[in-house]
Amino acid sequence: MSLISPFLWFESQAEEAAQFYVSVFPDSKILTTTYYGEVGPGPDGTVMTVEFELQGQTFVALNGGPHFKINEAISFVVNCETADEVTHYWEQLAAGGEESRCGWLKDKFGVSWQIVPTLLGRLLSDPDPAKSQMVMAAMLQMQKLDVAALQTAYDDA
């Protein structure tokens, strides 16, 4: 188990969410599932927690009831090396969810993700402010980040 693990509170979809996430990310797996017993607080025999791993990072999903809601204050960044990776993760995670701007989306469970090409950080940190600002301006017009368009904005500055 990791020293620090993200802990996601779901009303009742912890198992479904964990199975979805391990299907999206290669080298991922369900580690353990625990169940509520007679003393609750959930119904006896129902899933309480699912511990799962996404590419080496441990997560725990809890069926905690309707008391707390996931929101955009916390998100997960997926750093993509290629445009194909950006497209894969964007399409998989946005399915049934909500696309936003600048590489952000919410999946069908309400969890926020940032799908970011690693190229973006390099372009935005260029010492030439004209180049980095052109990249920023281009990014602000996008939903899913377009690697080729970001590179073109940089090259044209």
- Tokens, residue 40: 């609750």
CATH architecture of the region 1-69: 2-Layer Sandwich (3.30)
Fold of 70-157: 2,3-Dihydroxybiphenyl 1,2-Dioxygenase; domain 1 (3.10.180)
- Tokens, residue 23: 């299907």
The confidence score (pLDDT) of residue 14 equals: 98
Q: Where are the domains of the chain?
A: 1-69, 70-157
Over the chain (157 residues), what is each successive 10-residue block's mean pLDDT? 90 98 98 95 95 96 95 96 98 98 98 98 96 97 98 95
The confidence score (pLDDT) of residue 124 equals: 97
The confidence score (pLDDT) of residue 3 equals: 86
Please tell me the chain's helix, strand, coil percentages from 3-state DSSP, rounded to the nearest 5: 30, 30, 40
- CA dihedral (69, 100, 77, 9) in degrees, to 10, reads 10
Best CA proximity match to 8, nearest among 104, 80, 109: 109
DSSP output for 71-129: -TTSEEEEEESSHHHHHHHHHHHHTTSEE-STTEEE-TTS-EEEEEEHHHHHHHT-S-H
The confidence score (pLDDT) of residue 40 equals: 84
The confidence score (pLDDT) of residue 139 equals: 97
